[in-house]
Chain A
Amino acid sequence: MHQLWLIPAFPLLGFLINGIFGKKFSKRAVSLFAVGSVLLSFLWVVKTLMAISPLETLYTEHYFTWIASGAALNIGFDLSVDRLTSVMLLVVTGIGSLIHIYATGYMAHEPGPNHGGYYRFFSYLNLFMFFMLILVLAANYLLLFVGWEGVGLCSYLLIGFYFVKKSATNAGIKAFVVNRIGDFGFSLAIFLIFIQFGSLDFQKVFAQAGGLADEVQAGVITATCLLLMVGAAGKSAQVPLYVWLPDAMEGPTPVSALIHAATMVTAGVYMVARSAPLFNHAPIAMEVVAVIGLLTAVMAATIGMTQNDIKKVYAYSTVSQLGYMFLACGVGAYSAGIYHVMTHAFFKALLFLGAGSVIHALQGEQDLRNMGGLRSKIPVTFLTLLCASLAIAGFPYTSGFMSKDEILVAAHHHSPAMFWIGVITASMTAFYVWRALFLCFFGRYRGSAHPHESPLVITLPLGVLALLSILGGFFRVPVWLEPVLGKAPEGHDPALVIISVAAGLIGIFLAWLFYVAKPGLPDTFARALKGLYTLVYNKYFVDEAYDAVIIRPVVDGSRTVLWKGFDVGVVDGIVNGVGSVSRGVGGILRTLQGGSIRNYAALTLLGAVLVLAAVAFTGGAQ
C-alpha cells in the first residue's frame, strides 16, 4: 500500500479545517492550512510516484466496498495510479500549489466581512482540489463521476464567489445548468457501460471492450462514446456547450486559472483519454470528437480576436485550446492531447495569473482598451506574460510549440484538411494572444489607476510558471504515456513544423501590425467587414440563439403548462384532495384519539384481550 488516499485527504482536511474553523482564524492561519494542505498533497504525489515508478501497469488500492447491491453491482472505493494519472496528478497538485500561493497574495485585500470571505475562498479551493484528485485517482467511472460532480460544484461556488454581484451568481448558475446537460450525457454513458460490461471498474471495462463483437461495437460502444463526449463537452466547454466558460470569468482570477484553465476544464480530455480503449473501438465517435474539437478551436479563436476583456480573451483561448486537445484525442493521439493538457496548464495558468497580476496592478481594471504601456510599470508580469504568449503562439521549442506540433502532426496523419484548419487556428491564436499583450503592455497608458508591481507571492508563481511554459515541453509526455495510450502516429515531417511555426509568427506579426505599428487598422477592418465583425464580436449570437430556442420555450412552457396548468390544477388538486379526504377520515377517527390516556389504555387492553382470545381459539396454546 502506498496510501494513495492521503493525496486527496490533505486538501479535504484543509477544507474541513478552514471551512469549519476558518471564520475564527487569522488570514495567515487560513493561508497556512490551505497552501500547506495542497503542498503536502503535492509532496505526497511526488513521493508516491517515486515509490511506485516505473508504473508500467495500473496500480490500484482498494479501501472499502462503497456500493454493493445484489451480485451485479459492486462498486469499491478504489483509487488507482498509472502513467496517465501521474501526469494529471502532478499538473493538478503542482499548478494547484502555485495557484494557491498566488491566491494568498491576490485575495489579500478583498473588502467585506472576514476579509471578503478569505477563509471561504480557500476552503472552496481546497475542496476543489479534493474532488479533482478524486476525479483523477478514481479507479471506476462512478468514483470519477463523484469527482466530476464535485469539481462542478466547486466551480459553481467559486464562479459565484462574489455572490453580491448578480452577474457572478448568474454565471455560476449558467455554468451549473450547462454542465447538467453534459453530466446527463455522462451518467447515461455510465449506465450504458454498466449494462454492457456489468462493471464500472476501468480495468474490467477496458479488458472486455476489446473482445466485443463488431455489431455491438457499432451500436453500443459508439453510443457510449458519444454520450461520454457529451459529458466531456460540457465539462471541457466544447461546442455546443462552451457558453458557460467565458462567463465563468466572473470568478476571482486564481479560480479562472486553476479551475477554468489548468485543471477542471481538462477533465473532459482526461476522461476521453482515460476511455481511450473504448473510443478506439468507436471510429465514428472519434471522428465526432475530432470535428467538435476543431470546430470549437476555430470558433473560439475567431471570437477571441474581437474581445476587449483580457480575461474573456484568455477564456476563449482556453476554449480554443481545449478544442485542440479534443482534436488530438479524436485523431487518436491521446498522448498528444494529454501533452497539450500539461503544457496548456503551464502557459494558460500563467496567462491567467499574469492577467490577474495586471488586474491586481490596475485595481480591478479588465478592459484592454483601458490598458497599455504597462511594460515598464510591471516588468516582471510583462516578462512572464511574454513567455506565456510565446509558448501559446508556438514559438519553437517552447512548451506550446512541442505539444501543438504533436497534435498538428497527428491531425495531418489523419486528414490534411484538419491540419490546415488547425494551422489557421494556430495563427489566429497567436494573433489574439499577442493582440492582448500589445494592447496591454505597449503604446500609451490609457487608464486612470496607478499601476504597481505585485508582491512576491504573486510574482514567484508567475516566474515558476514562465520557466515551465518555456521549458515544460521537454517533459516528453507522449513517450512517458506510450505504455498506456499507445504510440503516437510517426511521420515527423519538417515541412509541417515549419508551416505551423510560420503560422504562429504570422499571427504575431499581424498583431504587431494592427496594434503597435498601425493602431488605426483594426477599426478600418471592422468597418470594412461590418457584418462579419458584428457577428464575431457578439460571439456568433450563440447565447441569444440558445435563449430564443431553448430557454424561452422552456421557461414559457414551464410557466403556462407546468406551473399554471399541471402544478396548480393537477398537483395542487391532488394535494388538496388528499388533505380534505384526510381531514374527513381524521374527523371520524379523532374520536378514538380523544386525548384521554385512560381511554387509550382501555383500548389497548381490549386489543390484548382480543389477541389472547384469538390465540386461544386458533389453538395457539397447546
Chain B
Amino acid sequence: MPSIPLDAILFLVLAAIAVGSAINLVVQTHPINSALSLVGVMISLAVLYLLLGGEFIAAVQVIVYAGAIMVLFVFVIMLLNAGAERPRTRLSFSVAAGVPVLLAFLSAAAYFILKKVPPAEGVTFGGFTGGSPRAVGEALFTRYLLPFEVTSILILIAIIGAIVLAMKEID
C-alpha cells in the first residue's frame, strides 16, 4: 500500500484532542468539566507515549494519572460538590498582564524549539523500543534504585500527611 503517513495523522489527531481538551480545561468554569478535559489530555498523551515507544509509561500514565490521581480530583470535586466559578467581577492583574506574556512565552518557546531541534529527525512508531516494562524496570532497580526508594518514602510521607490533614478533629 502506498505510504499513508499514519504516524503523522495519528499525531495530529491526538495533538488536536490534547490541545482541545487542554483549552477546554482552561475555559470551563465548572471544575468537573476541567477535570475530565484533563483526563482527555492525559489519555491522548498516553497514546502519544505509545507512539514514542513508551509502552510502560503510557500504561502508567493511564493507571496512575488518569486512573488514580484524576479520580481523586473528581472524587474531591464530587465530595465538596463544588459549583461553577462565579463570573469575574473585575479584570485582575494576572489576567491583564498574564495573557500577553503567555503569548510571548509560547512564541519564545516555539522559537527556541524550531531553532535548536534539527527538523530532519522524525518519530516513527517502533523507532525506539527501549521503553518496555523490562527496560524501565531494569533502569529503575539498578541505576535509579536510590531515587526510587526515596520516592517510596515520599509517597509514605504524602499518605501520612494527607491522612493527618483530612482527618476530622476528634473532640
A residues with CB within 8 A of B: 596, 598-599, 601-603, 605-606, 608-609, 612-613, 616, 621
B residues with CB within 8 A of A: 92-94, 97-98, 101-102, 104-105, 108-109, 111-112, 115-116
Name which residue of chain A comes closest to B116, CB basis.
A621
Query: Known contacts being A605-B105, A612-B105, is A621 close to B115, with CB within 8 Å?
Result: yes
Q: Are B101 and A602 in contact, with the CB atoms below 8 A? A: yes
A621 to B102, CA, bound (A): 21
A346 to B105, CA, bound (A): 85
Q: Are B112 and A598 in contact, with the CB atoms below 8 A? A: no
A596 to B90, CA, bound (A): 14
**Contacts beyond the supplied A596-B93, A613-B108: 13 A-B pairs with Cβ under 8 Å:** A596-B92, A598-B98, A601-B98, A602-B97, A602-B98, A603-B97, A605-B98, A605-B102, A606-B97, A609-B101, A609-B104, A613-B104, A616-B112
Name which residue of chain B comes closest to A594, CB basis.
B93
Q: Are B112 and A621 in contact, with the CB atoms below 8 A? A: yes
A605 to B115, CA, bound (A): 21
Query: Known contacts being A596-B93, A596-B94, A601-B94, is A609 close to B116, with CB within 8 Å?
Result: no
Q: B118 to chain A: closest CB distance in Å? A: 13
Name which residue of chain B comes closest to A601, CB basis.
B94
A614 to B115, CA, bound (A): 15
CB < 8 Å neighbour of A616 from B92, B93, B108: B108
Q: Are B93 and A599 in contact, with the CB atoms below 8 A? A: yes
Q: A598 to chain B: closest CB distance in Å? A: 4
Q: Could you give 10 example pairs across A and B, Cβ below 8 Å?
A: A596-B93, A596-B94, A599-B93, A601-B98, A602-B93, A602-B101, A605-B105, A606-B101, A609-B108, A612-B112
Q: Are B93 and A609 in contact, with the CB atoms below 8 A? A: no
Q: Are A616 and B94 in contact, with the CB atoms below 8 A? A: no
CB neighbours (8 Å) of B101 from chain A are: 602, 605-606, 609
CB neighbours (8 Å) of A601 from chain B are: 94, 98
Q: Are B105 and A599 in contact, with the CB atoms below 8 A? A: no
CB neighbours (8 Å) of A608 from chain B are: 105
Q: B109 to chain A: closest CB distance in Å? A: 7
CB neighbours (8 Å) of A606 from chain B are: 97, 101
CB neighbours (8 Å) of B97 from chain A are: 602-603, 606
Q: Are A609 and B105 in contact, with the CB atoms below 8 A? A: yes
CB neighbours (8 Å) of A603 from chain B are: 97
Query: Known contacts being A605-B102, A609-B101, is A599 close to B92, with CB within 8 Å?
Result: yes
Greatest chain B CB density within 10 A among A599, A601, A609 is at: A609
CB neighbours (8 Å) of B111 from chain A are: 616
Q: A618 to chain B: closest CB distance in Å? A: 13
CB neighbours (8 Å) of A613 from chain B are: 104, 108
Q: A606 to chain B: closest CB distance in Å? A: 5
CB neighbours (8 Å) of B98 from chain A are: 598, 601-602, 605
Query: Known contacts being A602-B101, A605-B102, A606-B101, is A612 close to B109, with CB within 8 Å?
Result: yes
